[in-house]
Amino acid sequence: MAKNYDAIVIGGGSVGLPIAFFLAKEGLKVLCIEALPSVGQGQNKAAIGGVRATHSDPAKIGICLKSLEVFSAWEETHGDFISWKRGGYCFPVYRQREETILRNLLEIQKASNLEIDWVGPDRIMELVPGIVPEGLRGGTFSPNDGQVSPLMFSASCHFRAEEKGAEFRFGERVTEIKLGKGDRVEKVITDKDEYSAPVVVNAAGAFAKEIGAMTGLDVPVTPDSHEAGITAPVEHFLDPLVVDIRPGKDGKTANFYFGQAATGQLIFCYTPAELFVGTDRDETSEFMPVIAQRMVELVPRFKNLLVRRVWRGLYPMTPDGVAIVDKVEEQPGMFLAVGMCGQGFMMGPGVAVNLVSLIVHGKPDLPDDVFNALSFKRNFGGKVEALK
């Protein structure tokens, strides 16, 4: 006999965990099924923990403003330290090209209630001590963005969801989803058991396509690999997370970013100029020399840092760089929270608030016209988001 729930969430990662939490908070009987041995062990733990509402798409801005509300109040509300740091996000600029891109985005960002502005070179030098001053034109700064530890948040979110009655099955892989009359979702079958629920949420990250295929859906999510690293802790000197959107002279990097965690370590990452499509998570010998060169060129004092560890994880990408958060019209009860690209951690709580509102109240938290940008049925051949 299948065990009955009100809702089943497939995937206990950046997005599935807050969804389970907010569903349980609404009083639903929730089961979250995770193939790995504990929470956040998929791509969640690969994230460097940057949380920004500084995007170019109003839906992503709205989602992340909600996430920031949740993250910034988490410790006070639940008593758990999640390494939240409100240091802002800073995009320093050295060339006309990037200045035009970032200045053009300010209008849409401000219209979406994001606190952000263009600041001069002196302010950038205060925000990023040691940044090379030659040619610095200024940049944007959004003071309310910040950072969180993905591991600390996922652990806390798991415990708080359980407190609210959510159940978790770890080390259990979903292998089949059965539809019933009218293609309504009915059962989720795993390698260990079977469960039934009128609501099933696909939050399987890089493997969302495989879960979609179980009911014949073509979910356009393709993973690609990104590397990151972390240094030994140093005395706190850097508030914002810093993003340099210039493509590298190295020909290897599209942009790069770094920040200092509340616990002192510098964390850093770059977007490869040519994406590594697939699920390869082995670190490369190329990453460290390339990122070190870019970081030291921008902030020479970084040459003194001691790098502790590097790793490689996956971005669950959609063709236009925007997530899919929607119900599946032709399969009543089926919901998608997938394709988070490089922003799934920061989007998690905001996606959860909106999706849970859609499930429980029939409408998202954001206005429909804004939320529709995340629709499953949109034209994915359209424009690619400027600040992916």
CA angle 111, 247, 233 (to 5 degrees): 85
Strands 334-338 and 324-327: antiparallel
Q: Is 291 in the site for ligand FAD (CB under 6 A)?
A: no
3 state DSSP class of 229: strand
Of the listed pieces 284-292, 311-319, 328-336, 376-384, which binds ligand FAD according to CB under 6 A?
311-319
Q: How far is the CB of 12 from ligand FAD (least distance, A)?
A: 6
CA angle 264, 262, 349 (to 5 degrees): 140
Of the listed pieces 12-20, 133-141, 193-201, 378-386, which binds ligand FAD according to CB under 6 A?
12-20
Q: What is the DSSP string of 312-353?
A: EEEEEE-TTS--EEEE-TTSTTEEEEE--GGGHHHHHHHHHH
Report the residue from 9, 53, 116, 340 that binds ligand FAD according to the rule CB under 6 A.
340
Burial 6-30 (b: 16+ CB within 10 A, else e): bbbbbbbbbbbbbbbbbbbbeebbb
Give the nearer residue to ligand FAD in terms of CB position, either 138 or 208.
Answer: 208
Burial 323-361 (b: 16+ CB within 10 A, else e): bbbbbbeebbbbbbbbbbbbbbbbbbbbbbbbbbbbbbe
Q: Is 74 in the site for ligand FAD (CB under 6 A)?
A: no
Cα–Cα distance measured from residue 165 to residue 173, given in angstroms and rounded to the nearest whole number: 21
Residues 193-222, interacting with ligand FAD (CB under 6 A): 203-207, 211
Give the nearer residue to ligand FAD in terms of CB position, either 15 or 161.
Answer: 15
Q: Is 342 in the site for ligand FAD (CB under 6 A)?
A: yes
* Amino acid occupying residue 47: A
Q: What is the maximal distance between C-alpha atoms in the chain?
A: 70
Give the nearer residue to ligand FAD in terms of CB position, either 228 or 366.
Answer: 228
Q: Is 47 in the site for ligand FAD (CB under 6 A)?
A: yes
Of the listed pieces 29-37, 98-106, 118-126, 246-254, which binds ligand FAD according to CB under 6 A?
29-37
Q: Are 18 and 157 in contact (CB under 8 A)?
A: yes
Q: Are 63 and 351 in contact (CB under 8 A)?
A: yes
Of the listed pieces 89-97, 230-238, 324-332, 340-348, which binds ligand FAD according to CB under 6 A?
340-348
Give the nearer residue to ligand FAD in terms of CB position, either 138 or 149.
Answer: 149
Per-residue binding string, ligand FAD, 147-186, x by CB under 6 A, is --------------------------xx------------
Listed residue (98, 84, 11, 93) closest to 50, CA to CA: 84
Report the residue from 5, 14, 201, 371 that binds ligand FAD according to the rule CB under 6 A.
14
Residues near ligand FAD (CB under 6 A), total = 42
Q: How far is the CB of 30 from ligand FAD (least distance, A)?
A: 15
For residue 327, what are the β-bridge partners? 335
Give the nearer residue to ligand FAD in terms of CB position, either 152 or 269.
Answer: 269
Listed residue (342, 334, 367) closest to 199, CA to CA: 334
Q: What is the DSSP string of 104-123?
A: HHHHHHHHTT---EEE-HHH
Q: How far is the CB of 283 from ligand FAD (least distance, A)?
A: 11
Q: Is 34 in the site for ligand FAD (CB under 6 A)?
A: yes
Binding positions for ligand FAD, rule: CB under 6 A: 10-16, 33-36, 41-44, 46-50, 173-174, 203-207, 211, 226-228, 269, 313-316, 340, 342-346
